[in-house]
A = this chain, B = another copy of it.
């Protein structure tokens, strides 16, 4: 993953509202939630929510699929995995390293 792209994804997650949305989608798993379900659960005005979701999609963190009027969103787990790997990529040359555990 390129640094620019990783930064875009981290920035997308670096907003409390978007992080809450993303974590909710992580929690519900691969089937995802509709925009309306997220709105009800987190109580965010529709237009605000729509902007935040668009940012997450644009960053590649979540994907969407339409079923008639309902738009389902789900977290992109593989992408998240890549992002985490990127963060610790240069880490293992040293002793006190995040990857010590494995």
Chain A interfacial positions (CB closer than 8 Å to B): 3-4, 6-16, 19-20, 23, 26-27, 29-30, 77, 80-81, 84, 87-91, 93-98, 102
Contact = CB atoms under 8 A, between A and B. Distances in A.
Contacts of A14: 7-14
B7 A90 contact: no
This chain's copy number in the assembly: 2
Given A6-B19, A27-B91, A29-B95, 16 more contacts: A3-B23, A4-B16, A7-B16, A10-B10, A10-B11, A10-B14, A11-B14, A11-B15, A13-B14, A26-B87, A26-B90, A27-B93, A29-B94, A77-B96, A84-B88, A102-B102
17 contacts: A3-B19, A3-B20, A3-B23, A7-B14, A10-B10, A10-B14, A11-B11, A11-B14, A13-B14, A23-B89, A26-B91, A29-B93, A29-B95, A30-B94, A77-B91, A77-B98, A84-B88
